Amino acid sequence: MTVSTTSILQHRARPPRRIRGRVFRSPTAIVAIVWLVGLVIASLTGPLWLRYGPLEQDLSAVLQGPSAAHLLGTDELGRDMLSRVVTAAAPTLLVALITPIVAVLITVPITLWAARRARAETVVNRVSEIVLSLPGTVIILAFIAAVGTNMPLVMAAFGVLVFGAMYKVFFGQAKSLHKQLYVEAAAVDGVRPMAASIRHVLPNMSTTVIVQFVLLFGAAIGLQAGLAFIGLGPQPPEPTWGGMIQTASSFIFQQPWLMVPTGAVLALTIIAANALADVLAGGTAMPPPLISIRRKKNRADAAPSTSTIAHVPTEVAASVVASVPAEERELIVEDLVIGVDDGPALVTGVSLRVRPGTVMGLVGESGCGKSVTSYSLLGLLSPGLSVRSGRIAWGGVDLAGAGEKTLAKVRGHEIAYISQEPTRALDPMFTISWQLSAAIKRLRRVSGAEAKRIAAELLTNVGIVDVPRVLKSYPHQISGGMAQRVAIALALAGTPHLLIADEPTTALDVTVQAEILGLLRRLIAERGMSIILVTHDLGVVADLCDEVSVMYAGQIVETGPVRDVLLQPEHPYTMALLAADPHAILNFEGTTRLASIPGQVPLPGSMTSGCRFVERCRFAQDVCSTTIDLQPRAEGDGAVRCIRRDEVRGRQDEWREPITIGEER
């Protein structure tokens, strides 16, 4: 029941695929790319289609406006402006590429090196600060005085000078990625540090690197134009955008039009570069909803939802959520399908129903889709994941199709989230008081003084004794159990009606676990909240939950009231989990042996069309390859996804015997 390092690495994100999808789905990105590439192609092929050469003079047609003979007019020597603007494009854009190439080639290797070595980090940090403090403009001018107006060398020097700023952008992300589990797993497998950085860290930094590359490309174009404008670029008569703008400024009163062609092309080029960077960063150039609904035909895992709640416009949805009485709020999840963009489905056909004032337990091994499902309820899926179909009904609104404005009305106000690691919810840079007060002011719209009073009250409610000391403390100054209590208080800052608790007791010792569970039980009784409890601990489920849903490989395999499911399990996977729990409430007669489930949860994309537990189930037969939906349980309420449920019912004690997989086939 453990996850190998190989499977961890196989689950690693693939940013390049996400980037390609984001670019090709964005009209803004396509237009920007067409403009930049088109300029270069037009410039390089100019002699084949331009009517005039860029240096060809006609003193009888000086400072003319647009005409049939000269589409963009002429300059002070009668030279065709279209020819000069187009001819200058390729040298400008191609030379501008030198700056980001040099900057990335210098910064990325140094950043990866510094992020994994403490001594190197100290040295490189000092060097980057020195580079940042240098007067860049003065150095560029001095460099030009030394080497002349050699634009490729000047652009290379500019790339070196931006090392400090780019290092600051890259270092924080690289440092964080080096601490990720899949990087540590690579080290355990014997991968050398630099190889691990290149193989696992750099791909996850690719979006940031590409965005900075494109932004720096636009800055280099502007720098070239500025230097040419003050006479430090390529010298006349060679056409340059900055030189043409400088000339146009000298004749601004005689012929104002002369400024328009070059100025417009320069502005559009820089805008195109910045717009492309914005799309690559996932910004406002292509504003997708945080969770997108995708309907794909001929895909069993993405069948159209049979939702009965219509998709409501964002503005209307926000008011609908706010107007529904708290006692009528019920979470209904139906046929939820979550998948990787252009990849396999991670969660398929999940349905949940959480009534007001009840606790729903969501259990299963790691990798079964519990956390992904809980993230989707608030629109918190990681980049690259999306809801393909299904509905998430809350207060009359389908949150799966809601926009960011509606989700912002729900998060914290209506539905709150508690992470299994409280340190993820607490910023180490700020005190507990500041973080709680900021959340309260934002969610409850109260004054600073009132927010501090409520913060102290919340800490008291979650069982913290020395409230004044904790309020003044930073997260690293309090214990893990106290940090979890603070995280719960933070989740209660907006008086939510539904609390999603993702393994809130995993990192705590037994005594503190009992205290946190008692706290959650009291919150349910006092506030009438409903809770979705994601956990591995069946003892916690038995103690706290009203209903339980067992997940395996992205599906719900059994669901029902806690007493029915835990006392009379009907799915072999539920039986195996109970048999593997040393604190199980079942009485397995004649043995004290704990069950061991061989194998591991199948990876997304490798799941069978029939029962997904078939490769690990001791009761599996050929008939189990048949696709089956959830069927009503024979004993008690709920449903079970097993075609042999009538035959295997009551045989849970066999899981504690030595296992031979497929022995019944």
3-state secondary structure of 334: strand
* Burial class of residue 527 (count of CB atoms within 10 Å of its CB; 0-12, 13-18, 19+): middle
For residues 185 and 211, which has the higher predicted lDDT (pLDDT)? 211
Q: Tell whether 219 is covered by a domain.
A: yes
Over the stretch 565-610, which tens digit does the pLDDT of each residue have?
998 899 999 998 888 877 654 444 555 567 778 888 888 878 877 8
In the prediction, which pLDDT does 296 show?
35
Average pLDDT of the residues of the chain: 82
Q: Which two tokens stand for residue 337?
A: 């399908």
Structural domain span for residue 318: 300-414
Distances (CA, A) of 268 to 218, 357, 615: 11, 57, 58
What does pTM read for this prediction?
A: 0.57
Q: Is a pLDDT exceeding 90 seen at residue 618?
A: no
Question: Looking at 384, 414, 444, which one is the last position of a domain?
Answer: 414
Q: Tell whether 288 is covered by a domain.
A: no
- What would the 3-class secondary structure string for 255-306 be? CHHHHHHHHHHHHHHHHHHHHHHHHHCCCCCCCCCCCCCCCCCCCHHHCCCC
Q: Which two tokens stand for residue 438?
A: 């900021």
Q: Tell whether 377 is covered by a domain.
A: yes
In the prediction, which pLDDT does 13 show?
40
Q: Tell whether 92 is covered by a domain.
A: yes
Using an 8 Å Cβ cutoff, are 372 and 601 in contact?
A: no
CATH code, domain with 215? 1.10.3720
Q: Same structural domain for residues 84 and 141? A: yes
Q: Same structural domain for residues 219 and 276? A: yes
Q: Which residues are within 8 A (CB) of 37 and not within 5 positions of it... i.e. 6 or more apart?
A: none
Query: What CA–CA distance (Å, rounded) separates 240 from 242?
Result: 6
CATH code, domain with 329? 3.40.50.300
Q: Same structural domain for residues 80 and 121? A: yes
Question: Looking at 544, 568, 588, which one is the last position of a domain?
Answer: 544
Q: Same structural domain for residues 536 and 645? A: no
Q: Same structural domain for residues 508 and 561? A: no
Q: Is a pLDDT exceeding 90 seen at residue 327?
A: no
Question: Looking at 527, 544, 561, which one is the last position of a domain?
Answer: 544
Sheet hosting strand 639-640, strand order edge to edge? 415-418, 498-502, 530-535, 359-363, 547-552, 555-561, 639-640, 631-632
Q: Which helix (H) or strand (E) element contains residue 348?
A: strand 345-354
- Look at residues 538, 414, 532, 424 and name the one whose alpha carbon lies nearest to residue 487: 424
Q: How many residues does the chain have?
A: 665
Using an 8 Å Cβ cutoff, are 143 and 84 in contact?
A: no
Q: Tell whether 499 is covered by a domain.
A: yes
Q: What angle do CA 334, 340, 341 make, to 5 degrees?
A: 110
Q: Same structural domain for residues 28 and 132? A: yes
In the prediction, which pLDDT does 591 show?
52
Number of domains in the chain: 4
Region 638-650: what's the mean pLDDT?
A: 87
Beta pairing class for 631-632 and 415-418: unpaired
Q: Same structural domain for residues 376 and 479? A: no
Q: Same structural domain for residues 325 and 469? A: no
Residue 274 region by backbone torsions, left for phi larger than 0, else alpha for psi between -120 and 50, else beta: alpha
Q: Tell whether 287 is covered by a domain.
A: no
Q: Same structural domain for residues 146 and 23? A: yes
Q: Same structural domain for residues 540 and 551? A: no
Q: Tell whether 498 is covered by a domain.
A: yes
Over the stretch 290-301, which tens digit does the pLDDT of each residue have?
333 333 333 333
Q: Tell whether 519 is covered by a domain.
A: yes
* Burial class of residue 190 (count of CB atoms within 10 Å of its CB; 0-12, 13-18, 19+): exposed
Q: Same structural domain for residues 530 and 596? A: no
Over the stretch 52-76, which tens digit does the pLDDT of each residue have?
999 999 998 999 999 999 999 999 9
Distances (CA, A) of 221 to 46, 338, 634: 20, 42, 72
pLDDT grade for 653, boundaries at 50, 70 and 90:
confident
Q: Which two tokens stand for residue 193?
A: 């540090």
Q: Same structural domain for residues 242 and 343? A: no
